[in-house]
Structures are given as structure tokens and as C-alpha cells.
């Protein structure tokens, strides 16, 4: 398995002739945290979902502790006592704050990000469960032997992204070169991870429900 030290050594090899206006600590943070967060946002992986029980009248839920972003390749669903309903994205401004606060509780048809850590639904729910597909924060690589969900397939993307950040900080014109190499690696990963999703077997939508 590719670990943090493997990635660090590849980065250092590519940077051997640089003036290095960055520290080893910065490299470890870029490699162990930031690069894989950037990759996860681009490729929508690792994926998961979580279930949020909603009482009648509730219209906000907190995101999971490892939440990075909504997985926009899938739909949110709301499960009441008898059916599973699709919940689609809609900008909060288009719904209107007054309408959200004054609406009668019923089956939610739309969701929006209230803030970075809170999801809102409209109309406020009747009693049920909101199932949220999301992209997880990749496990941080805090030591040399650490690996995570993307380190095996995505290590060269991590290498190129980190080198690009170093070039950017160094005001080196080769930033564009390494950014391009990073983009190419990400495109490969997007194809590799397309469609991978850990979905609860109990989430079986109605016959008129269409998965995007």
C-alpha cells in the first residue's frame, strides 16, 4: 500500500532543485490532509450516506462529522412511514426565507445548505428520516505509515497537487505544468470511482423515483 512517506519521497524528488519557500511541515499537511480533500471533492469519493430522523416541523439537520460535501451524483431521500420520496436541490433564496419558516410541515421536496454544517429541507418535514448521500472527508495521513481510502489509486494526484502548491508558493512558472498533471490524474480517478456508492439496502424508492 502507498503510505504518506511514499508520497512525500516522490514529492521531494520532484522538488530537489527548488528554492523551497515552504517547510516540511507544510508538505506533510498538503500531502496528508489538503491534497486528498481536494481529490475527494473532485472525484466524489469516498462516499457514504447517513440517516437523519426528523420530527414533525423540523427543517434543519446537522451534517455527519466526516461530511465533506453532498454527493451531487445521487439524490437525497425522505422516508416516511410508508414511502420513500426524492428530495431535490433548490437554492434557499429561490424558496424564500419567509416561506421556509411559515410553511406547514409535510413531505420535504427540496433541500439546501443552510450553512457549511447544516442541511435545510423544504417544506419542514412530517415525521420521517432524511437519507443523505455525501462525500466523506478522507482519513488524514498523520504519520509516515498511514494510508487512506484514496492513497493507493490517488497517490500521483496527491504528488502533483502538492508539487503544484509548492510551485505556486515559489512563484514558479511550472505551476501550470503540475496543475495540468494533477487534473489528468483526477480525470482517471473520476472514471475509476464513477458510480461507487455505499447505499443502505433499506432505501428502495417508489416506482416513479428516477436515479440520476
Domain contains 132? yes
Model confidence pLDDT, tens digit, residues 161-178: 999 999 998 888 999 999
pLDDT, tens digit, 9 for 90 and up, residues 93-104? 899 989 998 999
Tell me the C-alpha to C-alpha distance, in Å, between residue 170 and each of 123, 163, 167.
50, 10, 5
In the chain, which ranges are continuous DSSP H helix?
Answer: 4-14, 24-29, 35-43, 92-95, 97-102, 151-169, 175-193
Say if residue 132 is in the same domain as residue 153: no
96 and 112 in one domain?
yes
Which pLDDT band, with edges at 50, 70 and 90, does 138 fall under? very high
The answer to whether residue 199 is domain-embedded is no
Q: Are residues 113 and 154 in the same domain?
A: no
Query: Domain range for residue 104?
Result: 47-136
Grid cell in block for residue 51: 440517516
Query: What pLDDT score was predicted for residue 192?
Result: 83
pTM of the model: 0.84
Percent of the chain scoring above 90 in pLDDT? 77
Asked if residue 207 belongs to a domain, the reply is: no
Domain count within the chain = 2
Q: For residue range 41-90, what is the model confidence (pLDDT) as tens digits?
A: 999 999 999 999 999 999 999 999 999 999 988 889 999 988 999 999 99
Same domain, 36 and 75: no
Question: In this structure, is residue 22 part of a structural domain?
Answer: yes
- Could you please report the per-residue DSSP string of 48-91? EEEEEEE-TT--EEEPPTTEEEE-TTS-EEEE-SS-EEEEEE--
Amino acid at each position: 500500500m502507498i503510505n504518506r512517506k511514499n508520497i512525500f519521497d516522490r514529492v521531494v524528488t520532484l522538488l530537489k532543485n527548488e528554492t523551497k519557500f515552504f517547510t516540511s511541515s507544510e508538505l506533510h499537511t498538503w500531502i496528508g490532509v489538503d491534497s486528498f480533500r481536494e481529490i475527494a471533492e473532485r472525484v466524489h469519493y469516498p462516499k457514504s450516506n447517513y440517516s437523519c430522523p426528523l420530527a414533525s416541523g423540523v427543517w434543519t439537520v446537522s451534517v455527519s462529522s466526516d461530511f465533506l460535501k453532498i454527493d451531487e451524483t445521487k439524490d437525497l431521500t425522505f422516508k416516511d412511514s410508508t414511502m420513500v420520496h426524492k428530495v431535490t436541490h433548490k437554492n434557499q433564496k429561490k424558496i424564500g426565507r419567509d416561506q421556509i419558516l411559515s410553511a406547514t410541515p409535510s413531505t420535504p421536496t427540496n433541500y439546501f445548505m443552510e450553512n457549511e454544517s447544516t442541511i435545510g429541507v423544504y417544506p419542514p418535514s412530517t415525521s420521517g428520516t432524511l437519507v443523505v448521500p455525501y462525500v466523506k472527508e478522507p482519513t488524514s495521513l498523520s504519520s509516515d505509515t498511514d494510508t487512506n481510502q484514496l492513497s493507493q489509486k490517488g497517490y500521483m494526484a496527491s504528488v502533483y497537487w502538492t508539487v503544484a502548491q509548492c510551485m505556486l508558493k515559489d512563484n514558479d512558472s511550472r505551476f501550470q505544468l503540475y496543475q495540468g498533471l494533477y487534473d489528468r490524474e483526477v480525470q482517471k480517478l473520476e472514471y475509476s470511482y464513477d458510480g461507487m456508492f455505499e447505499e443502505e439496502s433499506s432505501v428502495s424508492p417508489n416506482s416513479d423515483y428516477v436515479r440520476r
